[in-house]
Structure 1
């Protein structure tokens, strides 16, 4: 038997308990500007950037730091079909998205940094490859960049950047120094490889194929610089 859906008054009561006076009733014919929709969405589904192992350890992170996106509110789903709610929600009702995001100072937007499963674990620290790529790819002497983790017996993984230089080539030592000025030291690649664009396989979507790049290094012995 399908349980009855909550009534509008019940939903409003729940929203008031969750969000106090920041509660809005929006009808299907309500015309919203983009700014209004963004504001109301933010108020009806809160987010928290958090670092921690497991769902019991939540620590809000400062602006500019990558954390997992957690969402809670009456607009959030009750759970996944055929999965226990505790697998994705913690005891306080936060949905753990496994998406890694960060916010820049003075900017209300959230920037995507990859999935938790895509993280590189270097010497016990989590490194988002997309965050590192975004920094390296902004340099004028870099045409393309893909960052992956390569196995290391001491560190677990090393951060490895595979770079396609723009016209004129690229100096890896100088590139590493510029990257170090913009990222925490543990995020700076410790291994580098400079290749031509035809060496980097792409997916049908046009995105770089990380798995193929890793195979190029591990299985085909692509030379790496320190």
Structure 2
């Protein structure tokens, strides 16, 4: 349910492929994603995307009730993505919800389809968000809007997400990976140490 393409250019494309379940994430999928991210330190750029009309609905509901909602595998995954030296891009083919938000927040850049919505109903479900998610979200959209999402339970449209700074661009759904590839092109062509140096200077 996780597809990985490793190209000679140094580009890795990681695709959530469980469209029939809105790409909801099981523990096995999260573990595989974490292992991929932990092994991607030689990648020059990594794109995360999904199949269908939803990037990810978050945790698989059955597994969430069985304990996945509070598993440390979410933090393992987002920490591994954040630690990557290459350019990381979340190419959001659709809605981003719940715990899957951490994957996108850990990326350097986020682009999204026009129909995408963004919500994180963790408080309503009776859980705390993963530890790093509120700080990363607040760094992008500010403390008040972070509370609007996490405590107010509000959904953001793609247009609001762009205006708030949660995403960098809105692009046609069928083009999200193509646009992400175009954004990554200069990084793939650069000397790795220069690309890494710029990334470190942008913190």
Give the TM-score normalised by the residue count of structure 2: 0.23
Instruction: Determine which structure has more spread, i.e. the larger CA radius of gyration.
Output: 1
Larger fraction in strand: 1
